[in-house]
Structure 1
């Protein structure tokens, strides 16, 4: 009997991930918020649902979406940049109510290295960094992780990815030719789509739940050096950086993730 996974959010990462799991023998249920995308998902062999998290409810057939799945992968953007006043935690709490009524016993939550603040000292953050109370209170991203990690009777793993690259998606295309770009000395924390799928599949195959993982590639260049180099490689206008204001950033360590999963990421950036 095939194992079944429900992927909440079959978007830029979720859809290729669904394809990968299908090829590896999983039955996949996938969600989208767009009716136009249902046919796309169905054509891939994904049992598709329109699901949307709202602050007062989960819109859509959430019980059917979760039914008979042992694993739920949550890969939905919090949307806080677009709407800073959005209550992402309220939305997740409505989701956890539905989860508690299902047979889901494992969750993999796709998070972001954005949980960590930038600093002038460019600190290195590990998978087991302990957030201060102020950091928790000021960040819905941190609160979301803690909400899911603390669910009873469910093993949750969190994977924090850096900026996502791949499928013709690269931030240098948005920075090319721009001026006054902040934080030229900041470290660069990015990861290619293929490496995201590699890490997620290893977590699932090795049954590494109840843990926190990081996913970033080893780029030993500053933000200015890296994007200037990339712009030249792609024959794009070189971005200009702001050297007048203090540069802030952070390094993301995935040494523990590499050791525990036994995986070394292929450099793709």
Structure 2
């Protein structure tokens, strides 16, 4: 989401600095009107000129996946602690932390921002701890944006599910959001000043996985996944989105 978001913000008139871990992306980011920096967040140190990166920055958008499968990066929470220390010493006054609805874990029913998170995976536990760390910093105005499963032009779970058989979660409901809608919500937060909040970002339509992925596979001309029958339909898990959800991408149209 990083580069498309930065390009959209630049088009909106914002002066954008962007971090990357790859030197090969420097020139391409410059061509897009983004001031690029090589920044690598590690458990024990932050590599790169973070001081210059944060200089004269008013709003910091933290969109860093946990990456816990890469042991070289170390603890996600400790990386966020290290980043926060640098942020406190900078000009940054507002932080938008891109989180995930995975922090709700196995909670079912209607989920709102007031629902108590019950993270199950190590990744979700680290993300929730990072949320609490940032929200507990009184010198910053921090908004946490919990996105559902991200889809986009080059990213859709149906491509991975295509042709698979014996899947058992067909009655589970989807809680997805399109990349374009993620960007629209972030820009709306910046423009309207929705700070010191926790917000869910999920497309407001929740068919079952069997219904949705079967339909999408057929639309894309690929083999649909096959789900086994279950005796009873589970209580649905429906994450309610923020009231100001401003777009409804056609890739997530109703069935």
Say if 1:74 and 1:107, in contact at 8 Å, map to a contact too.
yes
Q: Distance in 2 between matches of 1:47 and 1:215?
A: 28
Partner residue of 1:88 out of 76, 83, 92:
76
Q: Distance in 2 between matches of 1:231 and 1:203?
A: 34
Q: How does 1:103-118 map to 2 (within 5 A)?
A: 103-118=91-106
Q: Distance in 2 between matches of 1:148 and 1:104?
A: 13
TM-superposed deviation, 1:101: 0.8
Q: Residue 207 in 1 paired to residue 193 in 2?
A: yes
Aligned to 1:266: 248
Structure 1, unaligned stretches of length 5 or more?
Answer: 1-12
Q: Check 1:143–1:242 CA distance in 2 against 1; reply closer, same or farther (3 A cut).
A: farther
Q: Distance in 2 between matches of 1:132 and 1:170?
A: 26
Say if 1:117 and 1:250, in contact at 8 Å, map to a contact too.
no
Q: Residue 17 in 1 paired to residue 11 in 2?
A: no
1:54-96 CA-partner distances (Å, limit 9, x unpaired): 111111111110000010000111113566x941100100000
Q: Distance in 1 between matches of 2:230 and 2:248?
A: 36
Three-state SS of the structure 1 residue aligned to 2:143 is strand
Aligned to 2:136: 150
TM-superposed deviation, 1:169: 1.8
Deviates more, 1:238-247 or 1:40-49: 238-247
Q: Distance in 2 between matches of 1:237 and 1:52?
A: 40
Q: Check 1:46–1:264 CA distance in 2 against 1; reply closer, same or farther (3 A cut).
A: closer
Partner residue of 1:252 out of 235, 239, 244:
239
Q: Distance in 2 between matches of 1:114 and 1:93?
A: 21
Q: Check 1:242–1:145 CA distance in 2 against 1; reply closer, same or farther (3 A cut).
A: farther
Partner residue of 2:34 out of 46, 58, 66:
46
Q: Check 1:168–1:97 CA distance in 2 against 1; reply closer, same or farther (3 A cut).
A: same
Q: Residue 168 in 1 paired to residue 150 in 2?
A: no
Deviates more, 1:154-163 or 1:245-254: 245-254
Say if 1:185 and 1:248, in contact at 8 Å, map to a contact too.
no
1:117-162 CA-partner distances (Å, limit 9, x unpaired): 125xx322111223469999x8112111111111121000011111
Q: Distance in 2 between matches of 1:24 and 1:62?
A: 25
Q: Distance in 2 between matches of 1:240 and 1:82?
A: 32
Say if 2:217 and 2:223, in contact at 8 Å, map to a contact too.
yes
Q: Distance in 2 between matches of 1:55 and 1:133?
A: 22
What TM-score, normalized to structure 2? 0.89
Q: Residue 77 in 1 paired to residue 65 in 2?
A: yes
Q: Distance in 2 between matches of 1:216 and 1:134?
A: 20
Q: How does 1:109-148 map to 2 (within 5 A)?
A: 109-119=97-107, 122-131=108-117, 139-148=125-134
Three-state SS of the structure 2 residue aligned to 1:77 is coil
Q: Distance in 1 between matches of 2:236 and 2:68?
A: 20
